[in-house]
């Protein structure tokens, strides 16, 4: 029979600390959710607060979004654009970055260390520095105001390359030798043998890269011009203007925007900690 966990003052104090930190982390989400079911007049009168007033709570804000009233007529177009961009970006980024990281870890070739140093150097460069060159390149490629104009400039990211390399360093090369003896090509070894072994890394990077793409604002606001092509962060920010602020759409729209990332995290959470832990200590 397994021993019961022993509670001592230190473990109880640590548990209470984690509970407190969890509540503090959830507090902004609670306040936002509460404000989304109140009229905008309540927000102007009392600000963003956690005061429960059942007399003014209503679902009219959510009804307005789903009916397309007011400034919400483009909301689900923005939502669809964000979903398409996030899915395409995450899939392509993980595929290409995992191949680069795997190659840097498992193959020995001239210039391998120099390429890895370049990857580390790119990680240290703020994205704001390369915005103008990227914008000019996107214009030359005629991908401005398109889905690919948002995806392609960042589709091979240095952080996933570094992460996959670190994870692959912990995989025995005997797997590759066994695959070659069975007649697998190098691509077959990667797809059929290495990808299943690297699933924790893929799970962790899926969450991080999808979160990056879903919340990305700076580059999409430069690359996208027409209102119907906006992503969700741009569209929601456009609801705030000097002329007027459409909080009836902004607040429930922000709450609904959390759902895809929340679902994604719940789907991949069993890989997340394992992937970050293993990938961060190899090499």
Q: What is the pLDDT of residues 159-218, one digit of tens each?
A: 999 999 988 888 888 888 888 888 888 888 888 888 888 888 898 899 999 999 999 999
Residues 268 and 177 in one domain: yes
Q: With respect to residue 172, please indicate whether it lies within any of the assigned structural domains.
A: yes
Q: With respect to residue 78, please indicate whether it lies within any of the assigned structural domains.
A: yes
For residues 25 and 28, give the distance between their C-alpha atoms in angstroms, rounded to a whole number: 7
CA dihedral 247, 253, 257, 258 (to 10 degrees): 70
Range of the domain at 45: 9-58
The contacts of residue 37 (CB under 8 Å, 6+ apart) are 57, 58, 59, 61, 62, 252
State how many domains the chain has.
2
22 C-beta neighbours (distance < 10 Å), count? 10
Helices and strands (H, E) in the chain, number of each type:
16, 0
Q: 235, 78 in Cβ contact below 8 A?
A: yes
Q: With respect to residue 65, please indicate whether it lies within any of the assigned structural domains.
A: no
115 C-beta neighbours (distance < 10 Å), count? 13
Q: What is the largest CA-CA distance in the chain?
A: 73
Residues 75 and 51 in one domain: no
Look up tokens 């759409």; give the residue: 249
Q: 234, 220 in Cβ contact below 8 A?
A: yes
What is the arithmetic mean of pLDDT over 55-73? 80
Q: How many CA atoms lie within 13 A of 248 on its CB side?
A: 19
Which structure tokens are listed for 32?
Answer: 């936002």
Q: What is the pLDDT of residue 283?
A: 45
Q: Positive or negative, the Cα torsion across 25, 93, 219, 68?
A: negative
pTM here? 0.85
Is residue 281 over pLDDT 50?
no
Cα angle 141, 214, 223; round to 5: 25
Q: What is the pLDDT of residue 213?
A: 94
Residues 108 and 31 in one domain: no
Provide the CATH number for the domain around residue 126: 1.10.3720.10
Q: What is the pLDDT of residue 40?
A: 78
Q: With respect to residue 110, please indicate whether it lies within any of the assigned structural domains.
A: yes
Q: 208, 261 in Cβ contact below 8 A?
A: no
Quote the strand ranges of the chain, DSSP E: none
Residues 193 and 88 in one domain: yes
Q: With respect to residue 63, please indicate whether it lies within any of the assigned structural domains.
A: no
Q: With respect to residue 159, please indicate whether it lies within any of the assigned structural domains.
A: yes
Residues 40 and 107 in one domain: no
């Amino acid at each position: 029979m397994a021993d019961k966990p022993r509670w001592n003052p230190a473990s109880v104090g640590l548990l209470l600390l984690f509970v407190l930190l969890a509540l503090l982390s959830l507090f902004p989400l609670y306040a936002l959710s509460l404000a989304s079911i109140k009229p905008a007049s309540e927000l102007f009168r009392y600000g963003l607060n956690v005061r429960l007033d059942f007399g003014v709570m209503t679902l009219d804000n959510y009804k307005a979004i789903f009916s397309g009233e007011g400034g919400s007529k483009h909301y689900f177009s923005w939502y669809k654009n964000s979903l398409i961009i996030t899915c395409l970006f995450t899939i392509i980024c993980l595929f290409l970055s995992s191949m680069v990281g795997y190659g840097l870890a498992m193959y020995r070739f001239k210039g391998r260390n120099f390429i890895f140093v370049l990857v580390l150097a790119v990680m240290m460069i703020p994205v704001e520095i390369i915005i103008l060159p990227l914008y000019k390149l996107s214009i030359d490629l005629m991908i401005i105001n398109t889905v690919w104009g948002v995806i392609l400039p960042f589709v091979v990211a240095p952080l996933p390359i570094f992460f996959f390399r670190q994870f692959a360093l912990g995989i025995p090369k005997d797997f590759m030798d066994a695959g070659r003896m069975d007649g697998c090509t190098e691509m077959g070894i990667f797809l059929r043998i290495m990808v299943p072994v690297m699933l924790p890394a893929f799970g962790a990077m899926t969450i991080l890269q999808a979160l990056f793409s879903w919340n990305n604002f700076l580059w999409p606001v430069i690359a996208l011009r027409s209102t119907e092509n906006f992503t969700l962060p741009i569209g929601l920010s456009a609801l705030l203007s000097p002329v007027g602020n459409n909080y009836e759409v902004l607040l429930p729209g922000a709450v609904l925007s959390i759902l895809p990332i929340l679902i994604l995290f719940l789907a991949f959470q069993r890989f997340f900690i394992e992937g970050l832990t293993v990938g961060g200590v190899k090499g």
